[in-house]
Structures are given as C-alpha cells and as structure tokens.
Structure 1
Amino acid sequence: MTTIEAPSGRTTTPDVQHIDVLVVGAGISGIGAAYHLQHEQPGRSFLLLDALDERGGTWRTHRYPGARSDSDLFTFGYGFKPWRGPSIATADEILAYLDEVIEENDLAQYIRYRHRVTAASWSSEERRYTVEVTREDTGEHLRFTTDFLWMCQGYYDHDKPFQPNWQGMDEFRGQTIHPQQWPEDLDCTGKRVVVIGSGATAATLIPAIAESAKHVTMLQRSPTFFISRPKVAELAATLRALEIPDEWTHEIMRRASFAQGEELWRMSVETPDALREFLIESMRPLLPDGFDIDKHFNPTYRPWQQRLAAVPEGDLFTALREGKASVVTDTIERFTETGIRLTSGEELEADIVVTATGFDLSLFGNVAFTVDGEPVDFTQQVTYRGIMITGVPNMAYVFGYFRASWTLRADLVSQFVCRLLTKMDEQGTPVVVPQLRPEDADMPLLDWSDPENFNPGYVMRSQHRMFKRGDREPWTHHKEYTEERDILPTADLDDGLVYRR
C-alpha cells in the first residue's frame, strides 16, 4: 500500500475501505452493537473504531482507586449474556465481562483500536458517508466509507475532564489530580487528601484511599443522596446456592432490579418527601453519632433529580464512622500553599487535592459532521426517539438512561437499529432520515434536557452544545426504561422517518 504526504505532515493512504455499518466506539454500547449486528444482520459487514488502546470506554479511562459501577450488574450486563459476578462490580470485573463477550462471539476481528474518528461527511449522490480517521499510535490518516454510521462513543469527553479554575491553584505546593487522569504511581499512604465533590466518583474513591491515607476529607458545595447496596444481593446468593441456572438467575435478578427501580422512580414523582425521608433514615444508623445529616446528606433537589450514588456495603459510611474520612459542606474561597481556604474561613490542609468535579458532555465524540458539504449545526436539529437526528441521514447514536443502567438502553437501541436496517433492505430504500412532519411545523423546540426531570452539573452546563427535543412523539427522549421497553420494540418505523431510493 503506497502512502502520500498530507499537508499537515501526517501520512495518508489513497485506499478507502468500505464497510456497510461503521460503529464508533468499543465500550458497552459499541460491543453490544457488534453483537446485535453479528446475530441480527449476518449478511452485513461492520467494523468498530475506537480512539483508546483497549476496549471498555469509561471502564478503560476510569482507573482511579476503587472504580466500580453505580448500577447493579444484572441490569448493567447485557440481556444476552448472564452476569455471574457481584451485584456491584469493579472496573476490572466489568472489563473481564466485556472480554468474555468479545471472545465468545469472536468480535476482536471487527475492532480497530487507536483509530480516532475526526470527521464524517454524508453525500446524497453517493448515498454514503466518508469518514476521516487518525491513527493515534502512528499519526497515519485513514479514510473509510460506510452506508450507515452508528455513534457508540459514549457521552463525555474522555480526553478533557471538567476542571474548575479556583484562585490560587498554581500556588498549591501539593498535587492536584482529576480522577479521570489518575496517575498509576500515585501513593496516598500517610497523606492528607481533600476530595472536591460528592457524586458517585467521590463516593467510590474515598473508601478506597481512606485505608492508607492519613485522612480524607470530602469537600462538597452541596449534598448528594446516597443509598447503601450489598455487593452480593441476597436473592442472587440464594438462587446460586440452589444451583439455579445462570440464565434464570440473571433474568430473575433483572426483574427484581426493575421492580425496585420502578418503585423508587414512582416515589420520586408521586411522594418525593416520603422517598427523601426513606433515604435519609436509611443512612442515619450507618453514620457516626452526632453526624449532621441534614447539612451534609440532605440535598435541596428532589430525589432522583440527580443520580443516587450507590455505596456498596455502606463503605463510605464506614470510613466516616471510623474517623478515616470526614465531610465538609462549604464553598472554596481559594487554594493556598498548604491546602484550601473555605468561604467560612476554615482552612483544609492537604498534600493531595482530588478534583472529583465531573466531566463535560461530548456531542458525538466531537466528530465534525457535514451533509452534502454543509456543516451540521446540531443545536438546530431535533432528536428522533433519542436514537437519530433530524436532517442527518443514516446515522444512529446511543445515549443511555439517567436513572437505570446504560446497557438497558444500548440493547433496546441495537434492536431498533437492526429492525430499521432490515426494513430499509426489504423496501429497497438505502437512505433514511428523520424529518419533522407537517403537524410539527409549530412544535416548540425544547432544551436537550428538562431540569425539572434531571439537573446535575454536567447536564446543565452542556445544554448549549446539544440538540433539541420536541413536546411530542417521536421527538422526545430521556424516558424511563419502564416506558421504552414497550415503546421501542414496536415503534412505527414510518412515523417521522423519510426513506429515499
């Protein structure tokens, strides 16, 4: 294969590889998509491209101590493969599960790592995308064409975390670290550690480092709801002791989890005060005597307006009871040479500051889209069922649930896309694009997410870069799994979709 020199100094190849379906991402969504394509579209070629050096997406990039799921694994696992491990699992256990899926289905042959997709250009004349790709290891420029593009890259920027800039950060003589960029050689032994943030990452990280650190302080601007979960569900242990087949145990545990999730969601809408009291009273006996739960663990938002942070076996509460960790609820005035000065005047001394401040949403992996030479302004487009985008042909994407396991929706979307591809084949229409109907002409275009429904920081600060939604089907998204598990499998593939020959 000959190469030519590109203007940027990188090398490129004149050869273009064509793939029927090109999947961007080899994490939970992409691997699930590959399985469904293999089993439901056996005559169609497909390929997965991922910028990382290994599979796993989030579970590859999140390598901080204690990294684990905050959803039970019976629903986080795929519907087609039983989960045999603990109900709440570590990143390594999840990666091992993904490895099994890849090996059992011989999917490794379809994955190309260190392949970063930078641009996707649709041509109506050619009825396909041209996709620009850069090899992360060599800098080589590659080009693929594809009939259908499936964006499974996740929902946040893996390269650049959300990092507030506080006054005096450059004066701090210790180390400042974001969990998304955790150094492999970092040793917290005997160190005073301040973790800024109180979400799932902080709740995961603090118990993991509290065992060796001198002391860990969780510094939060506002509280989070926590809920203690067993690492091994009692029902699962009982079923396994009875030697119930793994497939049965998996399905029974999934149904039990659905029922529990539905009840929590129902309470959050119908009786939020009762749910608040339930969550607080569940935490109270696990916390140190005299702990000010109203100040530190009683948020101002409605339960489930942000995610509940799962605490396996109450390990965060154990660290607080044993005095290895503490909670401070305040705002930061500035960093100092030796720590952080708070608005109240208190100063927290620290050797290490961990900024567990979250991430920023990344719209379709920051890939530049064009349609017939015109750049796509996604902020002016509307979602179709949270799967496709108006005006963008032959492209689907995966975005999971806020309150349930990501994988539940990845499975549903995969089934939907495969059903759509089959319909396109059967009727001989190689092009499909969502298009507002005549009755939608005056439909109000709403922000990507309703803050009354879900309002964590990463959602609110990203609204301006996201696409819109409507006030009616099929232009809505962010539904609950209990709704979509009935809607998507039978959704009318002619409603809101235009097919072209």
Structure 2
Amino acid sequence: MAAPEKLDFDVVIIGAGISGINFAYRLQERNPELSYTILEGRHEMGGTWSLFKYPGIRSDSDLHTFGFPWRPWEEQTTIAQGPLILKYMKESAAMYGIDKRIQYHHKVENAEWSTLSKTWTCNVTANGSAEKHIRARFILLCCGYYDYDNPLQSVIPGIENFKGTVAHPQFWPEDLDYTDKNVVIVGSGATAITLLPVLAKKAASVTILQRSPSYVLSLPGQDGLDKTIYNLTWWNKPLFQSLIRWKYILIPFLITRLCYYFPKRMRKFFSDTIQSQLPPTVARDPHFNPSYNPFEQRVCFCPDGDFYDALKSGKGGMETGIVETVTPDSIKLTSGKELHPDVIVTATGLRVRFAGGLNFLVDGKPYNIADSYVWKGVMLENLPNAAYVFGYVDASWTLGADATAQLVCRMLKRMRSEGVAEVVPRRSELEKKNMVDVPLLRLTSTYIKRAKDMLPKTGATGQWRPRSYYLQDLLMAKFGDIRTGLEWIRGV
C-alpha cells in the first residue's frame, strides 16, 4: 500500500466502540507499519456503554466472549453492568495506546472514493462546527447497527395524552425519580428484562406490558463447570482464561445449533426451564409462550435469575395484550383491562442504521447500500477499500467483530506485499443473473423487518452468503479464499 500524496492515514476507523477498539488492536498487532486514526462522533469511547444510562444497563451475553480476546475478562461476574464494561474498554485501550489515536467530537458526515487517487476522503464535522477532510487508503466502519440519535418509536395510541412521565431507555432522564411509583415498561426485549428487577427495588410496582412474549433464561454468574475448570487450572491463569473463553464459545454454539436443527424439542426445553422459575401467580401461557422458536428472535438472559426473583417478590408483574389507547392516567387494553402507571417506559427497541447512516460517493456518484450485496459479511459490492463490522445475533458481537478484523488485516497485509492499491467486491455476470437472495439476518424481530429496505443484500451461494458462525468465520479469516469475488487492482 504505497502512500499517495497528502494521505493523512493508511486506515481510518469510524467509531470508538468495542468493534473500533478491537480493530485498532488487531491493526497494531498484524499491520504495525500502517498508520491509523479512530474518528468518534461522541465525547468518549464506548459506544453503547457510553450512550445508555438507564438503570441496570448490562450486557446481554457473557463477557468472556463479549470482552476482547487479547485482554481476558477477569471479573467474577459473567454478565456485567454497563459502567464496568466501559471501564474495561477504557483500560484496554489505554493499555495498548489506542486511546491516543482517537479523535473525539469528529462526526463523519460522508465519505468519497476516488478511483484516480485510490483514496477515501472522509468529510468530518469536528467539535460541532469545523469542517475537516481526512484522506485514507482504507476505511473500516465500526458504527454499530442502530441509530444513536433517534430511537425506534413504536406507535402507542394516545401516548401523547399521558400526564405522567414517559421515558425511553436510549435517553433516560437523569432526574427521573420512580421511588414508590407504579411503572409500566412497554416492550419485551432485553432492555425490559433488564429494567424490571432494578426498578422493582425502589418502585411500588413494575409491570412489563408486551404485545408478544419472549424467551427469558437465567445465566449463573459462575456455574459448576466454571468452578471445575478453575480447580483444575488454578496454577495457570492464562490456561484457565483460555478454557473459560472456549467454554462460552462452544456451549452457546451447541445450544443454538440444537435450536436450529431441533426447534420443537428445544422449544419444550426452554418452556420447561422457564416454567420451573415462575411463581404460581404468573402463568407461562401467555406471558412466556412465544409464537416463534428459540433464536428466531433473540433470547433474553438474566444473571442469576434476578428477573424471576422480581416476579416472585410480587413487585414485578407481566401483562400480555394490545394497547387500545393511553389516557391521561391509564393504559387501556383491547381486552378491557386497565393499567394505572405513574411512569411509562417505552422499551420498544432500537432503530437499525447500517454503517452509521453514512453517505457514500464513488467517483462522484451516490452509492446505495440497499442495492448492494455483501462479500463474506465484511465488504459491500462495488465499494472499494471499505469494510464494515456487523456481529452475530446468536452469539457475542465481539466474536464477529474480531473475525472481521482478522480478515481485513490479512487483506491489508497482502495488498501491501503485492503492491495492490484497491480491492473491490464484484459479482460475476453469471452471479448477477442467477443470484437468489436470502436474509442478511435470521431474526424475525419487528425492528429487523422495519429495516429491510436499508440493509444490504446477501445471496444463497458463493462469497455472497451471510456470515454463519464464529468458528467457521475465524477459519475463513485466517485461511479462507480472499480472491474470489474481489478485484485486486495494483497501484499506478
């Protein structure tokens, strides 16, 4: 990768969340000869763990795999609170000097590719007003998958009439006092499952109001196998950390495979497990009897059963139904029931936004992501020298981010060694003619369905298939074919 004139960096990483920090580490490790910077639109690193401030925010997967593979998670808890995750990220970045490469308050508005100069120009709003142009050979999009500025607002009839407090978890009011108040959480996803046990500690009552139910499983902070591994390896800390990490990679992988291949049996297993944890006052049907099979939508986890403990305490409750209207002091359901909250929390999900909502130009022409196919789950058709990070829906996000980082670093190394200035995914004419589309994501969740028109496409064959699972993607990143479907263009 010979540097062109006025090149600011070899690589620009957009986003200083967990994906961006991880890629920076891999770049330093695998391609130390390349210069890079991280452009972050907000005031600090952390992404989700910096943005969200609602009570009890925590991971929805284990930290042994959600954490960085190059800095093992050492806390006792498997599912961690948001502030602890943010602290871990900041310490990890500082440990390897990554924090010194981040430019905060640098929001990338659009990016322009020039075939003539073989460079990207990132047009940046710096510190709210100043306009900057940063040129690089390669860009990596580590922008997450949702809109930081605009949450998903589900239609709740009459919500504007409510005289109490309405809060959305994405922008939680710092001064919200829910002590001894009746709280209704509208939603059934991971955020609602997280909020209920925390709010129930101070509120008079907390009720989850859901249109349709979810699977909620308990995950112990440390199970018997964890303790057995420790007892066998206490004398060798790196070995213990490696075995624990692989345990949390392999067991969830096996569970999800069983769910995909034996959905009815696993549905019964999940249902029986949930039934065993419910108090007599809460019925599994309809409140915990989803219409879909496990992992057709995301499965929610709660550490050490805290969600079920809140239900057993009597302060947490469930209601399944459809809102007819919200009045100034109540929520009326189509079933005739009424709820009388003081506070309504609209935990209705996230608005999907691919690649941070950036606008791309290729040689002056607008680039449409939704019209493009994905190469190996990493690059977009006809978009040169650009990769994106999109994690898994049935495993920790960081696993997918790291597989992507390793693949891109391998490509960068080969580009440099072969004098290649541009790589761009291209479908063959035969592929264009015969390509059969398949969903980018296996989920049937509402927020994914709503985002269908803004997500790129994936095909049923070749290099255009959606990514599969971590072990296969890791092998692909290290040893797989990175020639087919890519055009490699040498420098001038």
TM band (smaller chain): over 0.9
Worse-superposed segment, 244-253 or 88-97: 244-253
Match of 1:467 in 2: 456
Note the 1:346-357 alignment, pairs <5 A: 346-357=337-348
Say which of 435, 441, 445 aligns to 2:426: 435
The superposition leaves residues 154-198 of structure 1 with CA deviations (integer Å, 9 ceiling, x where unpaired) of: 010011100123222221001111101111221111111000011
Say which of 436, 445, 450 aligns to 1:456: 445
Kept after mapping to 2: 8 A contact 1:194/1:354: yes
**Aligned with 2:8: secondary structure?**
strand
CA change 1:322–1:223 in 2 (3 A) is: same
Say which of 147, 164, 179 aligns to 2:154: 164
By how many angstroms is 1:447 displaced? 5.3
By how many angstroms is 1:362 displaced? 0.6
Worse-superposed segment, 339-348 or 234-243: 234-243
Q: Distance in 2 between matches of 1:319 and 1:244?
A: 39
The superposition leaves residues 82-114 of structure 1 with CA deviations (integer Å, 9 ceiling, x where unpaired) of: 110111111111111111211110111100111
By how many angstroms is 1:443 displaced? 2.7
In structure 1, runs of 5+ residues without a counterpart are: 1-15
Match of 1:34 in 2: 24
Kept after mapping to 2: 8 A contact 1:443/1:470: no
Q: Distance in 2 between matches of 1:310 and 1:353?
A: 23
Q: Distance in 1 between matches of 2:174 and 2:69?
A: 34
Match of 2:59 in 1: 69
Identity %: 37
Q: Distance in 2 between matches of 1:259 and 1:17?
A: 43
Match of 1:362 in 2: 353
Match of 1:269 in 2: 260
Q: Distance in 1 between matches of 2:156 and 2:7?
A: 47
**Aligned with 1:436: secondary structure?**
coil
**Aligned with 1:338: secondary structure?**
coil
The superposition leaves residues 274-311 of structure 1 with CA deviations (integer Å, 9 ceiling, x where unpaired) of: 11111111122221115210211010101111111001
The superposition leaves residues 217-238 of structure 1 with CA deviations (integer Å, 9 ceiling, x where unpaired) of: 1000001011101123443345
The superposition leaves residues 50-80 of structure 1 with CA deviations (integer Å, 9 ceiling, x where unpaired) of: 1111111011112111111111111111111
Match of 1:425 in 2: 416
Say which of 319, 324, 327 aligns to 1:333: 324
Q: Distance in 2 between matches of 1:410 and 1:199?
A: 23
The superposition leaves residues 302-326 of structure 1 with CA deviations (integer Å, 9 ceiling, x where unpaired) of: 1111111001111111111110110
Kept after mapping to 2: 8 A contact 1:429/1:500: yes
Note the 1:313-332 alignment, pairs <5 A: 313-332=304-323
Match of 2:237 in 1: 246
The superposition leaves residues 367-409 of structure 1 with CA deviations (integer Å, 9 ceiling, x where unpaired) of: 1100000000111111001100011000000000010001111
The superposition leaves residues 462-489 of structure 1 with CA deviations (integer Å, 9 ceiling, x where unpaired) of: 0111111111120011412243233332
**Aligned with 2:225: secondary structure?**
helix
Say which of 163, 184, 194 aligns to 2:174: 184
Kept after mapping to 1: 8 A contact 2:234/2:240: no
By how many angstroms is 1:417 displaced? 0.5
Kept after mapping to 1: 8 A contact 2:183/2:341: yes
The answer on 1:498 being equivalent to 2:452 is: no
Q: Distance in 1 between matches of 2:83 and 2:481?
A: 40
Match of 1:486 in 2: 475
Kept after mapping to 2: 8 A contact 1:119/1:368: yes
Q: For residue 66 of structure 2, what is the amino acid of its counterpart?
A: F
Match of 2:3 in 1: none
Q: Distance in 1 between matches of 2:215 and 2:291?
A: 10
Match of 1:8 in 2: none
Kept after mapping to 2: 8 A contact 1:88/1:232: no
Kept after mapping to 2: 8 A contact 1:448/1:466: no
Q: Distance in 1 between matches of 2:236 and 2:95?
A: 19
TM-score for both structures, normalised by structure 1: 0.94
How many residue pairs match? The answer is 483
Q: Distance in 2 between matches of 1:443 and 1:100?
A: 49
Q: For residue 434 of structure 1, what is the amino acid of its counterpart?
A: P
The answer on 1:379 being equivalent to 2:379 is: no
CA change 1:77–1:155 in 2 (3 A) is: same
The answer on 1:145 being equivalent to 2:135 is: yes
**Aligned with 1:120: secondary structure?**
strand
Q: For residue 338 of structure 2, what is the amino acid of its counterpart?
A: E
Q: Distance in 2 between matches of 1:246 and 1:187?
A: 44
Kept after mapping to 2: 8 A contact 1:118/1:134: yes
Q: For residue 232 of structure 1, what is the amino acid of its counterpart?
A: Q
Match of 1:103 in 2: 94
Kept after mapping to 2: 8 A contact 1:32/1:414: yes
Q: For residue 465 of structure 1, what is the amino acid of its counterpart?
A: M
Match of 1:201 in 2: 191
Say which of 22, 35, 50 aligns to 1:45: 35
**Aligned with 1:149: secondary structure?**
strand
Q: Distance in 2 between matches of 1:56 and 1:237?
A: 31
Kept after mapping to 1: 8 A contact 2:40/2:106: yes
Q: Distance in 1 between matches of 2:417 and 2:425?
A: 19
**Aligned with 2:447: secondary structure?**
helix
Q: Distance in 1 between matches of 2:483 and 2:331?
A: 58
Match of 2:246 in 1: 255
Q: Distance in 2 between matches of 1:22 and 1:219?
A: 43
Worse-superposed segment, 342-351 or 280-289: 280-289
RMSD after superposition: 1.5
